[in-house]
Structure 1
Amino acid sequence: MLVKLGSRFAVGLLKLFAILPYGLIARFGDGLGWLLYQIPSGRKRVVHTNLRLCFPEWSDAKREEIAGLHFRQAIRSYIERSVQWFGTAQKLEKLIELDSEIDLTDPNLPPTLFLGMHFVGIEAGSMFLNYSLHRPCGSLYQPFSNPEFEAAAKAGRSRFGAEMESRADAARIVLRWLRDKKPVMLGADMDYGMRNSTFVPFFGVPACTLTAVGRLAKVGRAQVVPFIGEVLPNYKGYRLKVFKPWDNYPTGDDAQDARRMNAFLEEQIPRIPEQYYWVHKRFKTRPPGEPNVY
């Protein structure tokens, strides 16, 4: 009962934050992230482990700097879900600038998989992509274990016409969406375990990487369009950056297609390293015989 009341209070707080000026809640989230970073925690160790594995050439001072900035960005992103889930469309339009290399309003848009990369702005980017398409789309997501947050997230994410489905066992649903010419949004750059995955390098480290994107694109005859939600400096909001479709993709080689996504990330992360989702255990699943790195 107490957990349920606490969850309802947290959702109510997010709704309250949504009506406050964005700069105020962004600064609050930033400050809360700084405060939490001062406290030893498992997630803080995960961030440092990921940075040490991916950027061994960095000095300890640089890794500490990026880790601290990332923790602030990550905590801030949770607070800013208030605006993303409960803010008006007009408020989102003012906060998010669109930088797209394709015409999102093209009525003849071919079957498309929009591949969202897990930077801290992915929530804002995904919702504004849905809004900018001006048509219904399908979206895969990882459900929350907490029913109060699950209901709030699903309602908020679907309010611009997105049909939300759990990513578990969703291949048939995605193929149906693609056959219906409905754009599909999904994320794949996380460690979801060995099912439908293979080990390919990510900054030189073997990373358990989904192969489903290439197979879905092949069967659904879909183009794959990556996008990134970036947090702008000085609390100015976000940029939704939509890239061109990947050429010569899929190749039919699962490992090569999985590597394509990681190579794309290796190009983009150095631009804004503090914004990639380092709090995630990206190397949780290890190749046979290799020890746990966390």
Structure 2
Amino acid sequence: MLTRLGTRCAIGLLKLFALLPYGFVARLGDGLGWLLYQIPSRRRRIVHTNLKLCFPEWSEAKREEIASKHFRHAIRGYLERSIQWFGSAEKLEKLVQLDSEVDLRDPDMPPTLLLGFHFVGIEAGSIFINIALDRQCGSLYQPMSNPLLEEVAKAARGRFGCDMASRADSARIVLRWLRERKPVMLGADMDYGERNSTFVPFFGVQTCTLTAVSRLAAVGRAQILPFIGEVLPDYKGYRLKVFKPWAEYPSGDDNADARRMNAFLEEQILNYPEQYYWVHRRFKTRPPGEPGVY
């Protein structure tokens, strides 16, 4: 864990990078990611484990190629936090292409859950949605082990009109936001343990998957708008893709809704597999009786 002094130095460096051209920062992160991938590490092993579980039909060479590209994307993403957290709205508007199947500024938008997925561009996409909505919204975050970094991240993610709430305290707050017609952003494709979760397939692997999304949608009578932040090729920035609302969701069957969410995510991952967040231990929680995979 970073010391307080180390954290302040890292934040200062990000603020400095925010003043530099995006292309320079992205290329620097890309190169650093390539370099770090050459060093055996726990995170590199996690990436390979995830890819082998999800894509057993791929050759070792293909998994190696995707793993290397992903590591470069992941490290690059940390450096690009500089622009995402500290860059101006004008700078972000030049970097993010909005591709939305709905009018995000519709004054009559019903209660809405904006469902984000953990591709490497999720930070840019989530922050830019604050701008695109042009209204107060809400967002859930996962508490960090570093309090100072968490404080800075919350301020950065909420600076364009977004109220932040910890995932641990979220249910009543989310329902209040929905009653106030504030769109609410949340992610549900991480392993948060068995509480409020079920085991359903993800690329054929029984995976601990949150059921909270369908429950919140049911109680809050909210529509689900999935979104993805994609990193564009050739250092051209990002694309924020907002999909049309899911029809007949929630269905009343938590397992079926969780399977539908994972199936949607699988479809999107196949478009750019190197950009999904494979460094996360997605299969950390196993069904009863199954051994750990990491």
1:116 and 1:228 in contact (8 A); partners too: yes
Q: Which residue does 2:174 correspond to in 1?
A: 174
Instruction: Report the AA paired with residue 211 of structure 2.
Output: T
* Inter-partner Cα distance in structure 1 for 2:138 and 2:287: 33
Q: Which residue does 2:156 correspond to in 1?
A: 156
Q: Which residue does 1:243 correspond to in 2?
A: 243
Q: Can you give the 5+ residue segments of structure 2 that lack an aligned partner in the other structure?
A: none
Q: Which residue does 1:31 correspond to in 2?
A: 31
Aligned length: 293
The 3-state SS of whatever aligns with 1:199 is: strand
1:282 aligns with 2:282: yes
Cα distance, 1:99 vs structure 2? 0.1
* Inter-partner Cα distance in structure 1 for 2:3 and 2:207: 35
Cα distance, 1:250 vs structure 2? 0.2
Which runs of structure 2 are paired with 1:75-224 in the superposition (5 Å)? 75-224=75-224
Which runs of structure 2 are paired with 1:36-75 in the superposition (5 Å)? 36-75=36-75
Cα distance, 1:169 vs structure 2? 3.2
Q: Which residue does 1:252 correspond to in 2?
A: 252
Instruction: Report the AA paired with residue 17 of structure 1.
Output: F
C-alpha offsets along residues 39-87 of structure 1, whole Å, 9 cap, x if unaligned? Answer: 0011100000000000011000000000000000001111100000000
* Inter-partner Cα distance in structure 2 for 1:12 and 1:148: 13
How well do the aligned residues superpose, as a CA RMSD in angstroms?
0.7
Q: Can you give the 5+ residue segments of structure 1 that lack an aligned partner in the other structure?
A: none
Q: Which residue does 1:18 correspond to in 2?
A: 18
* Inter-partner Cα distance in structure 2 for 1:189 and 1:199: 12
**Moved >2 Å (runs of 4+):** none
1:11 and 1:148 in contact (8 A); partners too: no
* Inter-partner Cα distance in structure 1 for 2:243 and 2:94: 22
1:140 and 1:185 in contact (8 A); partners too: yes
TM-score (norm 1): 0.99
* Inter-partner Cα distance in structure 2 for 1:212 and 1:147: 26
The 3-state SS of whatever aligns with 1:135 is: coil
* Inter-partner Cα distance in structure 1 for 2:76 and 2:31: 8
Cα distance, 1:116 vs structure 2? 0.3
Cα distance, 1:148 vs structure 2? 2.1
The 3-state SS of whatever aligns with 1:91 is: helix
The 3-state SS of whatever aligns with 2:150 is: helix
1:191 and 1:285 in contact (8 A); partners too: yes
1:117 and 1:228 in contact (8 A); partners too: yes
Q: Which residue does 1:228 correspond to in 2?
A: 228
* Inter-partner Cα distance in structure 2 for 1:121 and 1:293: 27
* Inter-partner Cα distance in structure 2 for 1:43 and 1:169: 29
Identity within the alignment, %: 77
TM-score (norm 2): 0.99
